[in-house]
């Protein structure tokens, strides 16, 4: 059983069409059929059922496919580790982050990372399904909001942070030292849309309290949200991370209580994924940045137990 045969077999499983699989592999269809037949003869089982123009994976084929996926993944990880051992500082680092402040957080660290790893190509993907992309091995790691539940993932909590009521000095509620959630939902609010994970957390908390958040304006961009607040159209609710990453000295930041709004942010990656030197370096940059913020603003973070 050769690695080449297993790669041919995996591609055929994914395509379920011998001609398309052969084209993808850059070989002829008879060559592919011969290699698959040789593999079947060695294992003494049929790996595919060919009924008319349809190709189906047999039960034995599925067992081989699942184990091949693990084996070839392990080989890919081994190659990456050996390259690092030989100090081959090249390759691609793919990072995922939820749209909004988590994507902004990663973006803000790209220049520092490039200085340390100038030969690494970086792909930053902002998407709502970053966890699914990690599971599909499309990303080296991702920043997401907990809870995330899947036994295929390694979850490394980064921080638990509070949300704040953000407004201008001339707002009727700007003199408050803290503000109840019930009061927040009764004032004109501009917010991210319902597809945004932060918005979903706020909506979920409101629903638990028997409240409903009805934003006056919804926007997907951070700049437009801050511009709308500064114009006096409405206040907003933002995480500490996003506030700290913006120029906010002209705005009033008020803690929200009863209940306190908090979220936990984590790094997630596939448990079978080798976390190489470049990925580890970027994770260290994130941790260093978060720790620097914590030292500057202790009250911005919720206790992990709280």
Q: What is the pLDDT of residues 207-247, one digit of tens each?
A: 999 999 999 999 988 899 999 999 999 999 999 888 888 88
The pLDDT, as a whole number, for residue 166 is 97
Domain 91-158+264-296 has CATH 3.40.190.10: yes
Burial group, residue 45, by CB count within 10 angstroms (0-12, 13-18, 19+):
middle
Look-up: residue for tokens 């959630």?
Answer: 181
Delimit the domains of the chain by residue range: 3-85, 91-158+264-296, 160-263
List, in order, residues 6 or more apart from 272 with CB less than 8 Å away. Answer: 70, 73, 74, 77, 152
pLDDT at 74 over 90: no
The reported pTM is 0.63
pLDDT at 78 over 80: no
Q: CA-based diameter of the chain, in Å? A: 80
| Per-residue exposure over 227-242, b if at least 16 CB sit within 10 Å of its own CB, e if not | ebbeeeebbbbbbbbb
Provide CATH code, domain 3-85: 1.10.10.10
The pLDDT, as a whole number, for residue 6 is 87
- Who has greater pLDDT, 295 or 175? 175
pLDDT at 138 over 80: yes
pLDDT tens profile 153-204: 999 999 898 999 999 999 999 999 999 999 999 999 999 999 888 899 999 9
Which one is the CATH code of 160-263: 3.40.190.290, 3.40.710.10, 1.10.287.3510, 2.60.120.10? 3.40.190.290
């Amino acid at each position: 059983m050769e690695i080449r045969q297993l790669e041919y077999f995996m591609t055929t499983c994914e395509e379920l069409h011998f001609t398309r699989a052969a084209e993808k592999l850059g070989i002829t269809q008879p060559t592919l059929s011969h290699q698959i037949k040789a593999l079947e003869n060695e294992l003494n089982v049929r790996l595919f059922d060919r009924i008319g123009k349809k190709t189906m994976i047999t039960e034995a084929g599925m067992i081989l496919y699942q184990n091949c996926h693990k084996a070839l993944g392990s080989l890919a990880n081994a190659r990456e580790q050996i390259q690092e051992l030989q100090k081959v500082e090249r390759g691609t680092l793919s990072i995922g982050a939820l749209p909004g402040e988590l994507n902004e957080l990663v973006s803000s660290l790209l220049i520092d990372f490039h200085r340390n790893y100038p030969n690494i190509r970086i792909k930053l993907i902002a998407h709502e399904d970053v966890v699914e992309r990690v599971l599909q091995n499309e990303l080296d790691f991702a920043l997401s909001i907990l809870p995330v539940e899947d036994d295929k993932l390694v979850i490394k909590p980064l921080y638990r942070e509070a949300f704040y009521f953000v407004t201008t000095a001339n707002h009727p509620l700007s003199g408050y030292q803290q503000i109840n959630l019930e009061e927040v939902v009764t004032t004109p609010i501009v917010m991210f849309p319902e597809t945004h994970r932060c918005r979903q957390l706020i909506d979920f908390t409101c629903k638990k309290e028997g409240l409903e958040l009805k934003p006056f304006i919804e926007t997907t961009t951070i700049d437009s949200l801050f511009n709308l607040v500064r114009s006096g159209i409405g206040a907003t609710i933002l995480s500490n991370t996003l506030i700290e990453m913006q120029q906010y000295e002209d705005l009033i930041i008020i803690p929200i209580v009863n209940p306190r709004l908090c979220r936990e942010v984590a790094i997630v990656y596939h448990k079978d994924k080798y976390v190489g030197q470049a990925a580890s370096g970027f994770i260290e940059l994130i941790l260093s940045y978060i720790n620097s913020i914590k030292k500057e603003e202790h009250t911005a973070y919720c206790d992990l137990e709280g």
